Structure 1
Amino acid sequence: MKIIRYPKREQWADICERPHLDMTQLQNTVSSVLCDIRENGDEAVKKYEQRFDHVDLATLSVSEAEINEAESLVSDELKNAIQLAHDNIFKFHEAQRFSSKKITTRDGVVCWQKSVAIERVGLYIPGGTAPLFSTVLMLAAPAKIAGCKDIVLCTPPNREGKINAAILVAARIAGVNRIFKIGGVQAIGAMAYGTESVPKVYKIFGPGNQYVMAAKQQVSMGDVAIDMPAGPSEVCVLADDSANPAFVAADLLSQAEHGVDSQVLMITTSEDMLARVQHEVEQQLNLLPRKEIAARALENSRLVLVESSREMLELSNAYAPEHLIIQTTDYEELAEHVVNAGSVFLGQYACESAGDYASGTNHTLPTHGYATAYSGVNLDSYCRKITFQHLSEEGIRQIGHAVELMAEAEQLDAHKNAMTVRLNAIK
């Protein structure tokens, strides 16, 4: 990890820089695959499953028998853990339900909103080096609460054509309607365009590698909505001299093991803490099964020493991390001034892993600085707000002339006339 001491403000942009990758060839590959799937449906999907996931599939759909088999392969202990996590996620997201109010803006003019679920949503669940069954809960639980009628899930199979058993168990617990053995770009294309087997969805959710992210961005330009733009995973830890260096190092490494393009950042006011965390990272790294992945991610990562808590927080807000962990004595005060972050973890015991699995908050979050403008997945992600208004004769009298004047000023005579005929009718 690169160590930066007391950087000047003009250096902050470099500190906040994410790893850069040449996406030109990747984008071309993704575009070609998507075009093939749009034109050839299931045939193309199966072809790319054979090419990329090395499996020859007779059918893309997961059967009820396969889900039942998965139930027998997952231990009761893990099932109970999945159920506990689901219950917490459900409870947190259920509290986000929208309550509509009718507002009288003028006498005779009443306006209101209604929250309506997106009818058909698609969930992408990575299943490669880390089969993310926790993401099934994060995406499906709010979809069920919102009232989405069809919840379609795609996840890559192994070379025997099987889906990770824990993913199937989590899908059953969370109430997923239909599950397909499709990974990568072909999964995004199948849900975006629809095939003979996979229904076209209206919005796609879920993380993935660079190919999946590129596919989501391409299909979002005209075919389907997506949850958010996203990139590799990241964490920022703020630590003063009261922090536990072993905890800080563990938090940094928990994010670094996601992938070689992940990034971690610690900002501290303590020279001693910087040295102790660096030592702990080296010690803990050697114990990780995914050591090589984490080590490469650490090459993109930084330990930064600053003068004050205020500067620590300002640099964090400039970075806009996906995950922000605040291990300081004044974490409550600092939390009040967080303006750019996906999800925030307060105090020594709120590790990012808690939010990834079972605290109840959602782990599908904006990365790559998008936390300046995007929220993480929440109940509203699965809903649309439809506005309504009712005008009585008195309402027309109250706002009618203003509407005429504004329409005329914009040179939209038909707009003006739609109001004028009504005003004339009530004279």
Structure 2
Amino acid sequence: MNGQPLATHGEAGLERGRVELQRYDHALMGTYGEPLRVLTRGEGSWVWDADGNRYLDLLGGIAVNALGHAHPAWVAAITAQAQTLAHASNFFATEPQIRLAERLIELAQAPHGSRVFLCNSGTEANEAAFKMARKTGKGTIIALEGGFHGRSMGALSMTHKEALRAPFAPLLERVVFVAPEVGALEAAVASAGEDLAAVILEPIQGEAGVRPVSHDLLAAARELTLRHDALLIMDEVQTGVARTGAWFAHQLTGVRPDVMTLAKGLGGGFPVGAVVAFGERAGAMLTKGEHGTTFGGNPLAAAAANATLDAIEELGLLANAKAVGEHLRTALEALDGVVEVRGEGLMLGIGLAAPASAAVARAAVDAGFIVNPPSPDTIRLVPALTLTRAEADLFIAWMAEHGTRIVTEAA
């Protein structure tokens, strides 16, 4: 659905929403701060709030809504599966579960012997990867400064941001953080020696402000882990499932991991996570009784993921992510107050000339655009892979007229 966002945004257009937010404040823990709006429905790249205001969603549930909102094929697949079998314990197998695992191995071009573990979220996937690293019999895990891998205790132990870690110390031991530089990684590996269990990294660091890890660092991580018989774990929770214009971001680099973690866009809005263990290097695969999750791989979630993967392929969304992403990059880089645009495909970080991202994001939502400020000088865009060029142009025009003025005034 195209067209200008409604002109009723701002204080005058938020009456019912205020009432709902008061209810929220009295009923839910404040783990996410005050919500920006109360949303009631979505269609494609658009959402509506409780007061009828319309927004172009350029955040996509934080890279989750790969097909946009209420995609007909996705809705139909979930509906059909819910009418058949929604959940069965993992004492039983289901065809959607098996099909999803087979499809992930195929899309990852993983070798014979590769296997998949299905779960519910990125943090669950990274918990499993942590266990796989420790199952090697070695203890040291190297993670990158700026990396984000989740908020449960194992995943949090590999997440760098001190503000997230400090309230829950002591965390799991023998996780070492290094600057995302080849020399720093080499020094940490040398220090760990034969105790090195794994190196974990995101090909593009999302929460740090959409910061790509250099090809040299990826290649060094691959070579060093091979040399020390350790695992290379790539966290593709945000970069995976066509987000960057490839099925998985590591395929853009030619550097293949031993373990890959997925979630977010995999279910197209339904909670799904996965771990792909690549055959010849996945000797630390988890076996019977070593790990599990009640809802992991349930047929309803698997149906949602299968429908998402099918639609991405049938609609040519890898090509669309590349084309619309490049259009956004070219147009945004030309604006005053924008110093760079980082990332790949439809995972973009707009680097601003001043620490004004929070102010830009607030003004954007008031104008009918949902974006995210992951760092003081960065606006993150991770919209639906179905985003059209015409929809992208609406935001480009707003940034040119309003967003850049906010940055200039803050400089």
Relative to the length of structure 1, the TM-score reads 0.27
Please identify which structure carries the higher helix content: 1
Relative to the length of structure 2, the TM-score reads 0.27
Q: Could you say which structure has the larger radius of gyration?
A: 1
